[in-house]
Amino acid sequence: MANPVAAEAYVADPRRWRALSVTLVAGFMTLLDVSIVSVALPSMQRSLGVSPAEAQWVISGYALTFGLTLVPAGRLGDALGRRRMFQFALGGFVLCSALAGAAPTAVLLIVARLAQGLAAGALAPQNSGLIQDLFRGGERGRAFGLFGGTVGVSTAVGPVAGGLILAAAGEPDGWRWIFFINVPIGVLALLLAARWLPGPPAHARRGSLDVVGAGLLGGAVFAVMLPLVEAYAGGLARLWWLFPVGAALAAAFLAWERRMTRRGRAPLLDLRLLTDTPGYSSGVALGMTYFVGFSGIWLVFALFFQIGLGYTPLQSGLVVTPFALGSAVSSTLGGRLVERFGRRLTVLGLAGVLVGLGTTAVVLALVPPSVAGPAMIAPILLAGIGGGLVISPNVTMTLRCVPVRMAGSAGGALQTAQRIGAAIGTAALAGIFYAVLNATGRHYQRGVGIALGVAVAMMLVAFAIAILEWRAGSGRPAAGEGPEPTAADTYP
């Protein structure tokens, strides 16, 4: 029998759409900072004398600490209240953005970026958790559609946004405004969050954090991501032994979480999310695999156009703008259609990404460099339209059956998988690009073609996962149909 508190009637918060707008703005800033910094590296190197190894830490160090905090912060949001965690994390992100923009040395810039990543990782799972709290049925699908669109567009629009800021701010310190721009936007979001975000429900209870589980999971994520962060400085060859260490820590984490569940205590991540929640484990696997290819292509594009073809940062960003535009439109549409078509949307979207990105790889490898940018407009637009139908519906389908009381930790785990996939993809695709250049005497067209071909191969894996999940879930209701799961109905 369901717990009467958990199963109480849902009452729509009249501020829910305004609250969503605040969380999306904050989420956009944190995810934009994953990709926007890439185009500013030459400016940073001239201004602060940033070395190649330090430059890698400026980019990937943010992703490293981002991934470390996602699940623990999601669990804290579940236990302590999402508005409190959201405000705390957003305040930290604004402060660290200001410190990064004002950094007088490369070392202090790296420290500020690491701290900024911690704050961003604490903020991110509160977004998906608040959507679970505030929306039901078809509205939840539309809300997740906007959230998924924010994830996709923020990553894709980073290069052009960075190029525009650098063009407006000028040299030698224009890169600082990439961080300073977060400050006024973040302060406004903080003020609106205090007004519009709901407090914890009256029946909410505080819970303790699984410190041991957080340590084991954090160690596993760190061990996997550190060699990737250090890839350009020989990290894969020098730190390869951290991969088995990470696997051992992950196994210990799973064993510990099972023990916590058997003892009736609150685990950091309830493993029944993976075994008993329809669509969750496959959605996490799909998201991680997709992000390996999706996130890695942006650095490859920046390297190819800026170093290989001599484009300015703004020109390089404008070349990939069609992807961002296509993704923005289709992700919003996908959020509205996912309740009707379910997993079929991700299958359709991945098909579009495969065709568009595969065609882009062929075009860049074969056409004369002078027309490379215009020649890729149509296929990269198709890839963007497909991408918007992947991220947004996958978030909705992955989290739709998650109990509300676990929404933060479940969303954090999903985004952790995406961050690990992004780190793998960025290191692997850029590494392949450089390896081909070295082997072919700086043949940039061949390098970009092969790197994008590897990205397409990862999309094929994600496509296979989507088809299997579509077939396995054909008898389940689409998002927005059927009764909403509650904590009591799902896990005792």
- The CA distance from 179 to 94, in Å, is 9
Task: Report whether pLDDT(107) > 70.
Answer: yes
Q: What's the rounded mean pLDDT across residues 452-480?
A: 80
Query: For residue 486, what pLDDT is reported?
Result: 44
Tokens of 196: 């519009």
The pLDDT tens digits for 122-163 are: 998 888 888 888 887 778 777 877 887 787 678 767 878 888
pLDDT class for 109, splitting at 50, 70, 90?
Answer: very high
- Residues 135/87, Cβ–Cβ less than 8 Å: no
Query: For residue 208, what pLDDT is reported?
Result: 67
66 or 7: whose pLDDT is higher?
66
Q: What's the rounded mean pLDDT across residues 465-481?
A: 68
- The CA distance from 51 to 23, in Å, is 35
The pLDDT tens digits for 30-58 are: 888 877 887 787 788 888 888 777 877 88
Neighbours of 368 (CB within 10 A): 8
What secondary structure letter does DSSP report for 36?
Answer: G
Q: Which amino acid is at 44?
A: M
60 or 320: whose pLDDT is higher?
320
Tokens of 425: 């993809």
Reduced to 3 states (helix: H, G, I; strand: E, B; else coil), residue 451 is helix
Within 8 A by CB and 6+ apart from 451, the residues are 296, 297, 300, 429, 430, 432, 433, 436
Query: For residue 330, what pLDDT is reported?
Result: 87
Query: For residue 480, what pLDDT is reported?
Result: 43
Burial of 434 (0-12, 13-18, 19+ CB in 10 A): middle
- The CA distance from 25 to 37, in Å, is 18
Q: Which of 76, 122, 296, 29 is nearest to 304 (CA)?
A: 296
Q: How big is the CA angle at 116 (ends 147 and 458), to the nearest 5 degrees? A: 50
Q: What's the rounded mean pLDDT across residues 390-398?
A: 85
pTM over 0.85: no
The pLDDT tens digits for 263-316 are: 888 788 888 888 888 888 999 999 999 988 888 888 888 889 988 898 887 888
- In angstroms, the first-to-last Cα distance of the chain is 10
**Cα distances (Å, whole numbers) of residue 449 to 72, 210, 300, 322, 438:** 39, 46, 10, 19, 15
The pLDDT tens digits for 80-103 are: 888 889 999 999 999 999 999 999
Query: For residue 204, what pLDDT is reported?
Result: 52
The pLDDT tens digits for 397-435 are: 888 788 877 777 788 788 878 878 887 887 788 878 888
The answer to whether the peptide bond before residue 42 is cis (omega within 30 degrees of 0) is: no
Residue with tokens 């890169």: 175
Q: How big is the CA angle at 48 (ends 46 and 49), to the nearest 5 degrees? A: 65
